[in-house]
Amino acid sequence: MVLLDGKKTAEEIKNAIRQEVEDIKNRGGKIPHLAAILVGNDGASETYVAGKVKACEYVGFRSTLLKMTADISEPQLLEQIQKWNEDPDIDGFIVQMPLPAHIDERKVTLAIRPEKDVDGFHPMNVGRMTLGLPAYVPATPFGILQLIKKYGIQTAGRHCVIVGRSNIVGTPLSILLSRNAEPGNCTVTLCHSRTKDLAYYTSRADILIAALGKPEFITASMVKEGAVVIDVGITRIADSSKKSGFTLKGDVKFNEVAHRCSYITPVPGGVGPMTVIALLMNTLHACKKEIYS
Ligand code: GUN
C-alpha cells in the first residue's frame, strides 16, 4: 500500500510556483494577485481562507482578504464583486462559501466574471470544462488530478466509482475522469444518496473516490482488494483531547481499509493540502491570461 502524500506533493508544487513567481519578478512582470471575500465568522471557513492567504504569501503572490460581517446585504456583496471584476490589479478572486442564508449563492457565483473565477464555479467555466475547453477547474477535482498524475496512477480503462454528486467535487470529477485525456478515460459510475446497494458499486471500483461527507462511511467490505482509494471527507469531530477541540475524520475508515488498497490518501494530509494548489495554479493562469486569451 502506498500513501498518497498530499502534503508533500503540495509542497513540491508550491515550490515550483514560487520559483515561477521569482522569475516573473526578475523579468519585471505582473505579480499574481488573489483576492478573497469572507462573510461572517464560520470557524471552518476562516481556517480555509487563512490557509489560502498563507499559501499566497509562501509562493510570493499578492493577496487581499476582505472580511464582511454576516449581516451584510446581498446588493452590498454584489457591489464589491463588481468592483473586483473591474479592478485590473486583481487577477482572480473567490467568495468563500457557505454564505449566510439571506444571500443567494447562485447570484453571487453568476456575478463573478468568468475570467476571474479562479474557483471554477461559474457556469461558463463549468461548461468550458465539460466541453474540454480551457477552463478554471474547481479546487478539489483539480487537486485530485494532480495527485493521480504525480503518483503515475493509470486511469485509462479503469472503473472509477465516485460517491457524492456535489457541484464542486463529485459531478466535475465524473466529467474530468471520463473525458479523453490523461488522467481520464475511466469508466465512471457516479453514486449518490439515492443509489441502491451502494456497496455493489464501490466493491467493483478500481478507483474509489469518497466525497459524501459522512465520517468513516466506507468500510473494508465496500472496497476491492488492490483499489486506489481517494478520501475527500474532512468532517470535524469534537475531541476534548485536542488543542483545537476537534479531530478530522475522512469518509473512509482508514484503519480497516488501508491494507486492502494499492494507494490511499490519509486524512488529514491527503486531498486537503492539494486543494489550495488548484487555487494558486488558477490564479497564475489568470495573471498570465492563459485560460481566456
Ligand atoms: N467552501 C468550501 N470549499 C470552497 C471552495 O473551494 N471555494 C469557495 N469559494 N468556498 C468553499
Smallest CA separation from ligand 1 atom 2, residue = 97
Atom of ligand 1 nearest to the CA of 275: 6
Q: In this structure, how many other beta carbons lie within 10 angstroms of the beta carbon of residue 58?
A: 16
pLDDT tens-digit map of 257-274: 999 999 999 999 999 999
CA distance 246 to 241: 8
Using the predicted structure, report yes or no on whether residue 112 has a pLDDT greater than 90. Answer: yes
> Which residue's C-alpha cell is 503572490?
61
Active site residues: 52, 96, 119
Banded model confidence at residue 283, pLDDT cuts 50, 70, 90: very high
What does the DSSP assignment read for 19-35? HHHHHHHHHT-PPPEEE
Smallest CA separation from ligand 1 atom 3, residue = 97
Cβ-based burial of 256 (10 A; exposed 0-12, middle 13-18, buried ≥19): middle
Torsion of CA 145, 128, 21, 94, to 10 degrees: -90
Mean pLDDT of 207-220: 98
Q: In Å, how far from its chain's centre is CA 93?
A: 15
Q: In this structure, how many other beta carbons lie within 10 angstroms of the beta carbon of residue 197?
A: 9
Using the predicted structure, report yes or no on whether residue 150 has a pLDDT greater than 90. Answer: yes
Mean pLDDT of 147-175: 98
DSSP state of 96: P
DSSP state of 123: H
Is residue 248 within 8 Å of residue 235, measured between CB atoms? Answer: yes
| pLDDT value of residue 16 | 98
CA distance 270 to 46: 20
Q: Find the angle CA(3)-CA(228)-CA(224) to the nearest 5 degrees.
A: 125
Terminal Cα distance for the chain, rounded:
43
Determine the residue type at 26: N
pLDDT tens-digit map of 164-193: 999 999 999 999 999 999 999 999 999 999
| pLDDT value of residue 122 | 98
> Which residue's C-alpha cell is 496512477?
153
Is residue 84 within 8 Å of residue 26, measured between CB atoms? Answer: no
Gap from CA of 188 to ligand 1 centroid (Å): 24
Residue 90, φ and ψ in degrees, nearest 5 = -95, 120
Is residue 93 within 8 Å of residue 279, measured between CB atoms? Answer: no
| pLDDT value of residue 207 | 99
CA distance 139 to 147: 12
CA distance 210 to 191: 10
CA distance 87 to 81: 10
Return mean pLDDT, the chain: 97
Residue in 93, 97, 136, 236 to alter for ligand 1 test, most ligand atoms within 8 A of Cβ? 97
Using the predicted structure, report yes or no on whether residue 66 has a pLDDT greater than 90. Answer: yes
Ligand 1 neighbour 232 (Cβ under 6 A): no
No. of helices (H) and no. of strands (E), the chain:
10, 11
| pLDDT value of residue 254 | 98
Among residues 227, 269, 224, 268, the alpha carbon closest in space to that of 249 is found at 268
Among residues 106, 49, 101, the alpha carbon closest in space to that of 71 is found at 101
pLDDT tens-digit map of 115-146: 999 999 999 999 999 999 999 999 999 999 99
Residue in 119, 121, 173, 232 to alter for ligand 1 test, most ligand atoms within 8 A of Cβ? 119
| pLDDT value of residue 177 | 98
| pLDDT value of residue 293 | 85
Gap from CA of 96 to ligand 1 centroid (Å): 5
